[in-house]
Structure 1
Amino acid sequence: MPDMLAEQQAIGTRIKARRLALGHTQADLARALGMTQGWVSKVEKGTISLDSTSLINRIAAALACHPNELIRRPYVHSVPENQWQASADLIMRELRRYDLTPSFEGTPRPSEVLWQETVRLARLRDAAQNRAIITELPDLLAEVRALAEVSAGHEREEGFALYALLCKFAHTSAHALGHPELVALACDRAAWSASLSADPFMPAVALGMRVWDLWGSAAWDDSLTLADKALAQLQDAYDAGDALAMRVWGAGQLRAAVSAARAGREQETEDRISHAREAAARIDALPEQPFDRYQLNFSAGNTDIHAVSVQLELNKHTEAIRLDGRADPAHIATLPKSRRGHHHMDMAQAWLRDHNRDKAFRELRMAETLAPQLVRNHPVARATLGDLIRGERGRVHEPLRAMENRFKASN
């Protein structure tokens, strides 16, 4: 049996085992999900793929477990590719001893120099080099914590702001690689350091991390409440035209749009996307763009691809295809490879639901070309590939088989 199909069966087996361990029937799980007992049966047999993150999260929430327990992440790689987990342990150690004497030896560099390190990390993130980020972070976290410890005044506050942003990089990379304990701890420490930073918008950035975390437990209403809390902290500065506030506010609206779509709130989803477009237009109209110390990548292009993504969350793949056709290619081209990779994964799903397998495969191949590490380890991309293989009549064609082999080699 092809590996991608076997993987779907293994996920179904784990769902069944978890359900039985809780003493639930298939009908119980079906009621919790708003699905049929027959649908649950097919999922457990692996004949229906879990082709969206929100669906995986909903099932995990209904079974009172973390989504990674069902999809078995982090995936097991070759020895060199697994080295990031040792670095993740070092990050956890640094974050746990946050209020103790810093472990950094020597004199920390000034904050002005260390902010440039965050630019380098952002380039790695944009290229979906999450293992490289995890490897870099232990020493940087120790250094910026030492900066906050030995400095006073503004330099001390900048040390805490840097610490919060490094927690954000840890949070994003740990999400991508599948390390929920690091995700949670990074989120907590970001909030702690943001409160000590005197940066007016960093607390809202930290709240945005929590919004993302709440998606893992399918707590869509709570994530919207938290998003609005963050947006309220920014509103006055946004209205006054502060460039950084507009960037954080716009990014917050996009996360709120995802939360609303997953909650099935179609009109609110549209409103949030509209707010984000407004913010992007205001930023584009600025005579000069400030240094984005939060490394958020908010833009018109990011808004365009979120507008497509939320339509898929609302199960409106035809609208997703239409919006993709209307999006400005110049906007999309400005996005980093990681974001474009996500977008092409979405479009692969949209075309697959539209029963156009050729276009689905081309989109998935484009996603893999742009961000191979991200895509080959993404559960939705793997489910999409499994569905493409499942739909083959007879022998799997060579380009599809070659893609499966590359995905297999990464696992």
Structure 2
Amino acid sequence: MVLITDVRRLASSRAAPINRASTFIDLAPSGAPASAARGVLHLRAAILAARIGDTELADSHPSAAVEQIRPGQERANYYGTKFGAANVGIHRVAVPVELSDGTTAVTRTATIRLPRGTAPSRSGHYWIDLSRAWLLHGDHRHALDSLHEARRIAPQLTRYHPQVRETVYALLD
């Protein structure tokens, strides 16, 4: 699996659990549950790659995750992943935010429509990331509006999330 090779390139101890998990998933029979797990691993690897600044690798993993989407996967919630198109879309916005590229993140939001029933924690985190994207883009009004939306959807997540505090401090500054 390409995931193992790519993740090994990550110079982080955080990649070790992803490597082990991808090795075990490769042993699993093919099907929607294994595809969901593979897709989630690609999304986690994308965030890790973005955090170490590897843009090419970070952008390749969401594309690989799309290939793992199977009909009904998100509704079935295999292994608690709720993996599906909405999750991939959320990560397509999160990756450029982690790369400090607010403009790309804001541009990608034009194609994102979170379906009804998206978990509040997922939707809330999406809006937190979108707030960070708007801040990086230089639009403080939209950044604040996005934080308000995150708070409406997932108040506890928004209240205690460290990235929210950092965003608020930056807005105040």
Which category of TM-score, normalised to the shorter sequence, fits these structures?
0.7 to 0.9
> How far apart, CA to CA, are the structure 1 residues paired with 2:58 and 2:110?
20
Q: Report the counterpart of residue 5 of structure 2 in structure 1.
A: none
Equivalent positions of 1:133-152 (< 5 A) are none
Q: Report the counterpart of residue 379 of structure 1 in structure 2.
A: 162
Structure possessing the higher radius of gyration over alpha carbons = 1
Which of these residues, 22, 29, 41, is aligned with residue 231 of structure 1? 22
Which of these residues, 93, 97, 100, is aligned with residue 308 of structure 1? 93
Residue by residue over 1:213-233, the C-alpha shift from the partner in whole angstroms, topping out at 9 and shown as x without a partner, is xxxxxx853323431321121
Q: Report the counterpart of residue 268 of structure 1 in structure 2.
A: 57
For the residue of structure 1 that corresponds to 2:62, the secondary structure is: helix
Residue by residue over 1:270-291, the C-alpha shift from the partner in whole angstroms, topping out at 9 and shown as x without a partner, is 12111111112xx12x6x8885
- Tell me which amino acid in the other structure corresponds to 1:323: R
- Tell me which amino acid in the other structure corresponds to 1:313: E
Unaligned runs of 5+ in 2: 1-9
Which of these residues, 345, 356, 369, is aligned with residue 152 of structure 2? 369
Q: Report the counterpart of residue 294 of structure 1 in structure 2.
A: 79
The answer as to 2:142 corresponding to 1:351 is no
Post-superposition offset of 1:316: 1.2
Q: Report the counterpart of residue 7 of structure 2 in structure 1.
A: none
| Pair 1:220–1:373, CA change in 2 (3 A) | farther
For the residue of structure 2 that corresponds to 1:222, the secondary structure is: coil
Q: Report the counterpart of residue 6 of structure 2 in structure 1.
A: none
Q: Report the counterpart of residue 38 of structure 2 in structure 1.
A: 249
Post-superposition offset of 1:303: 0.7
Which of these residues, 4, 12, 19, is aligned with residue 221 of structure 1? 12
RMSD over aligned Cα atoms:
2.3
Give TM-score, length-normalised by structure 1: 0.38
- Tell me which amino acid in the other structure corresponds to 2:142: K
> How far apart, CA to CA, are the structure 2 residues paired with 1:367 and 1:344?
5
Checking the alignment, whether the CA contact within 8 Å between 1:253 and 1:275 is kept in structure 2 is yes
> How far apart, CA to CA, are the structure 2 residues paired with 1:342 and 1:235?
29
> How far apart, CA to CA, are the structure 1 residues paired with 2:137 and 2:109?
14
Counting aligned pairs with the same residue, the percent is 30
Q: Report the counterpart of residue 320 of structure 1 in structure 2.
A: 105
Which of these residues, 32, 42, 66, is aligned with residue 277 of structure 1? 66
Give TM-score, length-normalised by structure 2: 0.85
Post-superposition offset of 1:241: 3.3
Alignment length (residue pairs): 165
Checking the alignment, whether the CA contact within 8 Å between 1:308 and 1:320 is kept in structure 2 is yes
- Tell me which amino acid in the other structure corresponds to 2:92: A
Q: Report the counterpart of residue 70 of structure 1 in structure 2.
A: none
- Tell me which amino acid in the other structure corresponds to 2:12: D
Unaligned runs of 5+ in 1: 1-218, 391-411
> How far apart, CA to CA, are the structure 1 residues paired with 2:68 and 2:117?
17
> How far apart, CA to CA, are the structure 1 residues paired with 2:141 and 2:164?
15
Q: Report the counterpart of residue 13 of structure 1 in structure 2.
A: none
> How far apart, CA to CA, are the structure 2 residues paired with 1:231 and 1:273?
16
> How far apart, CA to CA, are the structure 1 residues paired with 2:88 and 2:23?
20
Checking the alignment, whether the CA contact within 8 Å between 1:332 and 1:340 is kept in structure 2 is no
> How far apart, CA to CA, are the structure 1 residues paired with 2:111 and 2:160?
29
- Tell me which amino acid in the other structure corresponds to 1:228: N
> How far apart, CA to CA, are the structure 2 residues paired with 1:364 and 1:356?
13
Post-superposition offset of 1:333: 3.8
- Tell me which amino acid in the other structure corresponds to 2:49: A
> How far apart, CA to CA, are the structure 2 residues paired with 1:318 and 1:332?
24
> How far apart, CA to CA, are the structure 1 residues paired with 2:117 and 2:27?
29
